Amino acid sequence: MDEKKRAKLREAIRKRIQKELDEMSTTAGAGPYLTPNAFVGDKHSNAGHIKKVAALTGYSVAPGTEKTIKPGDRLNEDHYYEYRNDPTKKPHQKIGTAIAEVNRQFKLIERAIRMNRRLQKECGVSNNQLWKRTTNQMLKLEGKLIELAARLRDMRG
């Protein structure tokens, strides 16, 4: 193939590739989701809404997902009775699982406090430089931890 034909072929290929690239779309151009409430709230407080939306769209809620109450969920009296009467686990299993979950979450809290205490020391941030809200939240957290310690002592007997 001579040089002229080769150059024309290259140019034709470049134009074709450029045209393809110009016509490509990405998910950024797709627009918003067509499910306006897909990411709103939790499944426990919106159970009725979730079932209604599923029915309207021709779907149904998977069995066993309607009442999956865990100890860390917002437990008011209604949730407590569902949790207590849940037949999937025995009471001692529920307590053990809950304490294990609390320990896991407590490790995250410990890590956050340790990192921020280190940051405070390294950057020389004094307590009077903290926002008033931050100081109040730390005092509330300290009170909650003392209260939790008392409840744990009571549980252990």
Tokens matching residue 110: 């410990």
Alpha helices in the chain (DSSP H): 3-23, 47-56, 77-85, 91-123, 132-156
C-alpha to C-alpha distance for 22 and 50, rounded to whole angstroms: 40
Exposure string over 71-88, b if 16+ CB within 10 A, otherwise e = eeeeeeeebeeebeeeee
How many Cβ atoms from other residues are within 10 Å of residue 98's Cβ? Answer: 14
Query: Could you tell me the pLDDT band of residue 21, with boundaries at 50, 70 and 90?
Result: confident
**Single pTM value for the model:** 0.49
Tokens matching residue 65: 């997902």
pLDDT value at 14 more than 90: no
pLDDT in tens, 106-122: 999 999 999 999 999 99
How many Cβ atoms from other residues are within 10 Å of residue 120's Cβ? Answer: 14
Q: How many residues does the chain have?
A: 157
Q: State the DSSP code for 62.
A: P
Beta carbons of 44 and 73 less than 8 angstroms apart:
yes
Residue from 69, 62, 101 nearest 86 by CA = 69
pLDDT value at 39 more than 90: no
